[in-house]
Amino acid sequence: MLSAVKESVRPTALSNRREIIEALETAHEAAVDYWAAFTTSEFFAPIGTHWSPAEHVRHLTRSMTPLLPVLRVPRAALRFAFGAATRPSRSYDEIESLYLKALRDGGKAGRFTPPVDRNAPDIIRRNAIMDAHSETLRGMTQAMERWTEVQLDAHRLPHPLISKLTVREMMLFTLLHNQHHVGVAEKRRAEAEAHPGF
């Protein structure tokens, strides 16, 4: 199921802006359905010894949030801050390879790790977490609408694990990152069910 969802929104080449936005929206809808399948208690509970579903979602929101103001600043300011792109944008598959290698080499969430939440499970907080996630992704895709294809490839942004990415690559990474965490959560869930106490 998860692999089928991922393949349905996996760009096969260097996608244009509209294709990336649509893939982000499709992946987000699938992820919302996935997280909704957890009860509220499960949503806030660690999966074995790993992050809870809530922590995965909060991490994703926390990692997307800095992109909102950056995508809205004048292009000249962005170029001044991070420089112009010095190579063509890479594909989704290439970005995925770089990211997975960074994780194998010990890459961590770092400052994007969600703060510890010791509150009791609560449906209102759960809804707030999911609403914040949806609003952040919506804000990002709306900001992307104001970028031309040329601008997506001409400007770059820093990534904490894989150096500087063009704006197009950062959007592809955001798609990959959201899909990756659904996959990780599902893998951890299956491991916890097969090996209680894992």
Give the pLDDT of residue 10.
63
Question: Considering its fold, how many domains does the chain have in total?
Answer: 1
CATH number of domain containing 52: 1.20.120.450
Give the pLDDT of residue 1.
41
Average pLDDT for the chain: 90
Cα distances (Å, whole numbers) of residue 109 to 28, 56, 116, 123, 172: 20, 11, 14, 26, 18
Beta strands, E only, the chain: 156-159, 163-166
- pLDDT tens readout for residues 162-174: 989 999 999 999 9
Give the pLDDT of residue 35.
97
Give the pLDDT of residue 3.
44
Domain around 168: 2-8+15-105+124-190
Distance of CA 98 to the CA centre of its chain: 15
Distance CA 89, CA 130 (A): 31
In a domain, 62, yes or no: yes
Give the pLDDT of residue 195.
77
Q: Which two tokens stand for residue 196?
A: 């209680």
Give the pLDDT of residue 197.
59
In a domain, 25, yes or no: yes
Question: In the chain, which residues have pLDDT < 70?
Answer: 1-14, 196-198
